[in-house]
Structure 1
Amino acid sequence: MSLSRRSLLKGTAAGLIAAPFISLRPASAAEFDLKMANNMPLSHPTNLSLAKAVKAIEEQTGGRVKLTVFPQSQLGADTDVLGQLRSGGVDFFHLSPLILSTFVANASISGIGFAFKDYDSVWKAMDGDLGAYVRAEIEGKGLYAFDRIWDNGFRQISSSTKPIATPADLENFKIRVPVSPMWTSMFSAFGSATTSINFAETYTALQTGIVDGQENPLQILSDFKLWEVQKYVSMTNHMWDGFWLLANGRMWRGLPDDVKEIMANVFNAEALVQRETMATINTSLRGELEGNGMVFNDVTTADFQKKLVDAGFYAEWKGKFGDDAWAKLEAAVGHSL
């Protein structure tokens, strides 16, 4: 672990002990007592930024708002918590757009395989017209998404059995994919044997051999100690993934305008901080994971993208999203898919 990562995570640990993940004030003191959930551990940059955001919101609202954060799937698997968010059992939820697509179909357009070449193209898209398009789709389903999406990172493929060096290595490869049609579609196009599993059950599925591999950003491999059940990491960068900070629409519309303004300003500002923290940490993660015994290999991504073209993956999803949405994606990423 590099000094920068160590200082970012360990330097915040003491503060997290007293951080507002359980309670900020007595329940009777808050006018609005709200619940937030995500699937990440306390050490993840998202929860580090949330701790600061929760404190700032309490201070700036004069204690009118109390936010309790439930990290690491404490309230259930992602698909379960999405249902709680829709019903009002949870007020805020950080969720990948690809899993959100089980409810808001076109939310997953930002996850098209090999669409983004780098972070500059990601933020141009997600802070621009493509992000605005997705937020409108989300709002149309009764949820609210804050302006700035948070970062999860570019996803890589890990395996317990072999490196993934070419598309042929994915044929019949038993891989865990999240509960999302696009993930299943993409890896099925490679000929993989896909199994949709909520993240909370992924470690056990890898440990017991239900699947031989999975795909996630390096931060997730580190936070959840996947090196204990995985050996190889192939740097495919096959998909960028983020976290929309979602709110229950009825709850959000019912908040006073001044409270909404404070919360939006704080959450959007912390999203930008979280992005910077992720960028800093990602530079050291490969070395850290190699130190824990993982073996890395780089791949030629053009070979993987050609396989998707030949399998009809892009044509299939262009048809599902529609010409208008697809044009927004291509305009944002700056190349044809």
Structure 2
Amino acid sequence: MEKLGIAITGSGSAVPETSMDNQALSELVETSDEWISTRTGIRQRRLALPTESLTTLATAASSQAIAAAGIKPTDLDLILLATSTPDDLFGTACRIQAQLGATKAVAFDLTAACSGFVFGLVTAAQYIRTGVYQNVLLIGADILSRWVDWQDRRTCVLFGDGAGAVVLQANDSDRLLGFALKSDGTQNHYLNLNYQASPQELIPGTQITQGTFQPITMNGKEVYRFAAQKVPEIIDKALFQANLSVDQIDWLLLHQANQRILDTVAQRLNIPEHKVISNLANYGNTSAASIPLALDEAVRQGKIKPNDIIATSGFGAGLTWGAAIFQWGR
């Protein structure tokens, strides 16, 4: 009998060695540790060295997840890389596939900014539930320091670099209990990493554009308002689909954007503080990496135990947002 349920059987994470605390940041722009930590909860962030790449971080996180799941790289059928900051615009998942030696796996990138990991989780689940693939590696990884304007104090204090990964496997019982995904492109302009180009005339009468991507721009107030309203709603939707009530949740694992957002969402859902997973003080906002990074840390600390029910939600550029309710382990 074919196994058409899914289980998340292993996790891993990797961050650059170099960290920059708020004090050091205040030498770059006019800000202070007090200002940053009271408004965001962030105290430091990791920054990728020139010798580090998205591929190296993602491969390190993936190796841990594969080992934790008790499988070999050659057992993988599919590798999904959720990222907005690839090493190569044509995609970076194949580079990771080669580094891991996952010779049987098909690999591709998926972009949904800070919602990427949750969107990837749901995407991976479809392949397993339809019986197409049995073993899927899902990676969330971003090197946002590449695309931050280090003179813009509204954004440069927020972001950090990192990678997290999980292995999903076909299972007798389905451990993905419910999910919901949403997009609203009418609010796209609140958070962008835009391509900007100047026209060039190739030959008379034929123009093209060439340029590069411009640093992150964000309307912090609007993004905060969006998250505070939409995230509790979508978690409610996913809980309804899972036929669970809020008090049955063991852990609330949100995209680590801002401690105020975490607190507000938990309050609106009536989830007590001790159930809220937060590690953004050490890493800042690592975009697609934030959920798997926090998940792996909590698993390795022994906080998250097998069969614990986790409500997770990603939200960000697009604007996109989504939630998933899953049980940890087989």
Same fold (TM over 0.5): no
TM-score (normalizing by structure 2): 0.28
